[in-house]
Amino acid sequence: MRFNFNFIGLDDSGDGLESLSSPSTSTPKEDVEWLPLQHHPIFTSAADGALPPSSSASSKTLTNLLAWDGASRLYFWDSQKQCLHRISVQLGEPDPSSILAASPSKVLQADVQLNYEVQKISINRHGSAMLLSGSDRLCVMYLYGKTSVKDNIVICRTVTIGAEIYFHRRSIIRMLQVYWHPSSDTHLGILSSDSVFRIFNLSMSLQQPEQEYYLQPVKFGSSTRASSICPVDFSFGGNHLWDRFSVFILFSDGSVYVLCPIIPFGSVYKWEALQEIYVDAKTFGLNSTNSKAVSNINMAISWLEAIFPELSQQSAEGGDSFALKARPYAFIDSSIVLQGPLRNFCHGEKKDTQVQDAEGQGRAVSFLYNLVSKDSVLVIAWSGGQLQIDAFADEIQPVWKAGSPPRLFVDSCDRILGIAMICESVSSDLSFLEPDPTLDRDVWLGHPPPLLRLAIVDLALPGKGGSHISMSVDPLMPERTYCFHNGGIDSVVLHFLPFSSESDGKDGARRSPSVNPVISACHGESSSTPSLCGFLALADSFGDSWIVGVTYSRECIVLEMETWNLLLPPIVDEEKNPALEEEKQYTNSTTIISKELLSGPKVVLLPPSSPNLRSVTADSIEGRSTLHQYFKLFHENYMEYAYKVYFELQHHAPQLKKIIDNQHSRLQKAERKLLEVEEKQEKLESRITNAVQHCNVLEERLLKLRNLPGIHKKPLSKAERDFKAELDRYNGVELDALRSSIEALDARLKRFENSQQANQHTQVSGKRMNYMPAEEVSKLRSSIEKLSLVNNENTKMVKLIEPALRNLEINSTQ
């Protein structure tokens, strides 16, 4: 049974109040009609026409033009009219399988001209701002505040983010991924092709980032693949210990690195969560005997006390705060270490620790962090359609590198406004990957947390190595992950988690994840382009969840998802044959006459008779008694038996009729099937004849092809095949990564040259400037020399690869 509650919130114009209750109790300013979501006017092709085929669809990238505020409002971006629709919805009304939507919807439009294609929209945690992301621009639309209404369209203030860095005419830096920070409404995280992770504070500056982290996963001059320095995706951590201060970076070769700790200035965190981290660090600091662990713990405690000074004060006095606000801070002489790449436990096997083999086909395309109870799960999607699922075997700890000072931006009062630092990966001993009963030696020693491999899931997507996959977590059941790709939407449910399953007392046997298709792709269209332009997972407080998808033809698909029974152990039944089941049901039907009646009347012994029975007359007393005894025996045995037979036959007459009718129906079905077989026989004969003719044509073509020049070439040897596979891998992954790394290096060099020219200009003009120390100048020169060496190495690799590719193309055309 469901109940309707009155939710009071901002009205659709942003100025007053509205009631978002049931249609009978709502009092909107205009007539509102509540319709099933799939029948809403904006989700019909007759309303405004189908959405135009986007360039993202042609390039096989995924778009998502749907967003949900987590409560009662659904947002849809109309790429044809360049506007945002805000729809009030009621989940599970009037029945649990449906969603009601208010019609008409409110239309929100930007106050500036958006001269780019929006590929993804995303709303912040409180639903006050919408992110409009595209390949050529990044804007934020403020849904409330100072707005105006024109022709029943709400005009919202819209601003551009990072135009000077990403969208300048001379800039070659591409924006790879952007997300709202889960602990702030005004902070955005952006990963770009120049291997830099930036955090923007929209309340301070729209063009200059608040924090910059230059990622350096490998040492300069070391021999490595180009794809290992090409970032692809990132994800913020969840609400678990130091995970909430972590950022996970995925590179195209499938390696994952961790930045910890990273915290936006002014973000808010719960007191209980911070107190748990603080007490945990102090407890290990007092008990540890390792000097390196003590040093790392002291730095973590100092960082916490500097970011949240109330921790040390209220821990002694007894804290009464509900939440604490982060203050700007960074160590003057230390930078954050880029921890990784994350590796799996060896389990006693000898593996090459220098290079970790990729578990998927192609290149890594997307990444997902998921917190399920006590387990932190990492999911990597590969372009070949595989999902690599791992879980942390230990907790993440913050690590700094001393002697690598960051760059601080301060105001006139020495208050930190921004930070920038180079984050390098530190090579460490990999013996911690071997499980050991003495786990205390690995705590707080600066090692990246090891991983436990849960599963490798193959989605069996169409195409070879060209699939783009986007992943999201079910808001009601975190064990379920939705995979949005060119083939539609699939659901992957985890049935085994290392720590959660152990704490819940479940069976320790590992069960493979279950994969179920939710929405099949393309609806009859070609599978090379995605048919869905939007996808959402919704859930309510009653334990129901739905999948909402919108196609380019404006068709809305609403599906109710099963939730609780997916986590139950499956019941394996034997394979059933319908014909055998029907035969078994027929043979095991109710018995017409019991076995007791079929065996006949009971045999009763006659009473003992006198030897002179023949001389006894019927009229005598002795004769009458003897006849009476015989008649009584006859009545008890034969008359009662006959009556039972009659009663059984009369009682089972309907059952007999039912059996006869069933036999007649089975006979009619058999006759119909025989007729169908006779009809198909002619078609089968014609198809066999056509197949034989087609086979003859193919044989003739094969004979002609054998006479073509070059057909008798020798097959490639094993070494040649390996070399060809290596060239294909370079062409698909490494070459793109090399170009991307060269672009990133060129961008950094241009920025350095511009800064040098600006410094020279300030020297000539006589303006006041801060001179750099000689040590920093020498470090800068050495880094430039290292960059030039890497650039030369990349150029040589490109020159070696391109001739081989040309020869391969020439050989393939011959």
Q: Count of residues for the chain?
A: 814
Q: Between the ranges 55-59, 363-367, 620-624, 656-660, where is the mean pLDDT highest?
A: 363-367
> Is the residue at 762 inside a domain?
no
* Claim to verify: residue 91 and residue 204 sit in the same structural domain: no
pLDDT at 197 over 80: yes
**Which of 250-264, 444-458, 748-762 has the least mean pLDDT?**
748-762
Identify which has the larger pLDDT, 246 or 31: 246
Q: How confident is the model at residue 48 (pLDDT cuts 50, 70, 90)?
A: low
* Claim to verify: residue 309 and residue 220 sit in the same structural domain: yes
Mean pLDDT, residues 77-101 taken together: 88
**Per-residue confidence (pLDDT) for residue 623, from 0 to 100:** 61
* Claim to verify: residue 100 and residue 39 sit in the same structural domain: yes
Q: Is the dihedral of CA 668, 669, 674, 679 positive or negative?
A: positive
Q: For residue range 377-417, list pLDDT tens digits in order.
A: 999 999 888 999 999 999 999 999 999 999 999 998 889 99
Identify which has the larger pLDDT, 623 or 104: 104
Rounded CA gap, 252 and 587, in Å?
63
In this structure, what token pair is assigned to residue 705?
A: 């092809």
Q: Between the ranges 176-180, 557-561, 588-592, where is the mean pLDDT highest?
A: 176-180
Angle at 737 between CA 734 and CA 739, to 5 degrees: 110
Identify which has the larger pLDDT, 106 or 642: 106
pLDDT at 146 over 50: yes
Rounded CA gap, 603 and 580, in Å?
41
Mean pLDDT, residues 600-615 taken together: 57
Domains contained in the chain, number: 3
Tracing tokens 């359609």 back to the chain, one arrives at: 385
Q: How confident is the model at residue 172 (pLDDT cuts 50, 70, 90)?
A: confident
> Is the residue at 710 inside a domain?
no
Q: Is 128 exposed, middle or buried (0-12, 13-18, 19+ CB in 10 A)?
A: middle
Q: Helix or strand or coil: residue 353?
A: coil
* Claim to verify: residue 379 and residue 402 sit in the same structural domain: yes
Rounded CA gap, 751 and 152, in Å?
46
Q: For residue range 410-448, list pLDDT tens digits in order.
A: 998 889 999 999 999 887 656 556 655 444 445 788 889
Q: How confident is the model at residue 463 (pLDDT cuts 50, 70, 90)?
A: low
> Is the residue at 306 inside a domain?
yes
* Claim to verify: residue 90 and residue 36 sit in the same structural domain: yes
Rounded CA gap, 289 and 768, in Å?
51
In this structure, what token pair is assigned to residue 64?
A: 């998502």
pTM score, two decimals?
Answer: 0.70
CB 73 within 8 Å of CB 142: no
Angle at 349 between CA 348 and CA 351, to 5 degrees: 135
DSSP state letters, 630-658: HHHHHIIIIIHHHHHHHHHHHHTHHHHHH
Mean pLDDT, residues 665-689 taken together: 88
Tracing tokens 């808010």 back to the chain, one arrives at: 268
> Is the residue at 400 inside a domain?
yes
**Per-residue confidence (pLDDT) for residue 355, from 0 to 100:** 38
Which residues have CB under 8 Å from 127's CB, separation 6+?
A: 69, 70, 71, 73, 143
* Claim to verify: residue 213 and residue 261 sit in the same structural domain: yes
- SS3 sequence of 364-406: EEEEEEEEECCEEEEEEEECCCEEEEEEECCCCCCCEEECCCC
* Claim to verify: residue 190 and residue 144 sit in the same structural domain: no
**Domain residue limits at 310:** 175-348+358-429+443-473
**Per-residue confidence (pLDDT) for residue 781, from 0 to 100:** 81
pLDDT at 736 over 80: no
* Claim to verify: residue 296 and residue 415 sit in the same structural domain: yes
With pLDDT > 90 as the criterion, what percentage of the chain qualifies?
34
* Claim to verify: residue 392 and residue 469 sit in the same structural domain: yes
Identify which has the larger pLDDT, 715 or 318: 715
* Claim to verify: residue 225 and residue 335 sit in the same structural domain: yes
pLDDT at 708 over 80: no
DSSP state letters, 456-483: EEE---SSSS---EEEEE-SS-TTEEEE
> Is the residue at 6 inside a domain?
no
* Claim to verify: residue 334 and residue 205 sit in the same structural domain: yes
Q: Where are the beta strands (DSSP E) in 73-152?
A: 73-78, 83-91, 99-103, 106-110, 120-123, 129-133, 138-142, 148-150
Rounded CA gap, 394 and 339, in Å?
14
Q: For residue range 259-286, list pLDDT tens digits in order.
A: 999 999 999 999 999 999 999 888 877 6
Q: Within 10 A of 644 (CB to CB), how many other CB atoms are there?
A: 15
> Is the residue at 378 inside a domain?
yes
Q: How confident is the model at residue 16 (pLDDT cuts 50, 70, 90)?
A: very low
Mean pLDDT, residues 82-92 taken together: 91
Which residues have CB under 8 Å from 95's CB, separation 6+?
A: none
* Claim to verify: residue 145 and residue 191 sit in the same structural domain: no
Q: For residue range 526-541, list pLDDT tens digits in order.
A: 444 457 888 999 988 7
Q: How confident is the model at residue 595 (pLDDT cuts 50, 70, 90)?
A: low
Around 637, how many Cα atoms within 13 Å sit in the side-chain half-sphere?
14
**Per-residue confidence (pLDDT) for residue 569, from 0 to 100:** 46
Mean pLDDT, residues 296-307 taken together: 94
DSSP state letters, 760-780: HHHHHHT---PPPPHHHHHHH
> Is the residue at 759 inside a domain?
no
**Which of 247-251, 333-337, 482-486 has the least mean pLDDT?**
482-486
**Per-residue confidence (pLDDT) for residue 7, from 0 to 100:** 35
Q: Average model confidence (pLDDT) for the chain?
A: 78
Rounded CA gap, 166 and 179, in Å?
16
> Is the residue at 637 inside a domain?
no
**Residue 56 backbone zone (phi > 0: left; psi -120 to 50: alpha; other: beta):** alpha
With pLDDT > 70 as the criterion, what percentage of the chain qualifies?
72
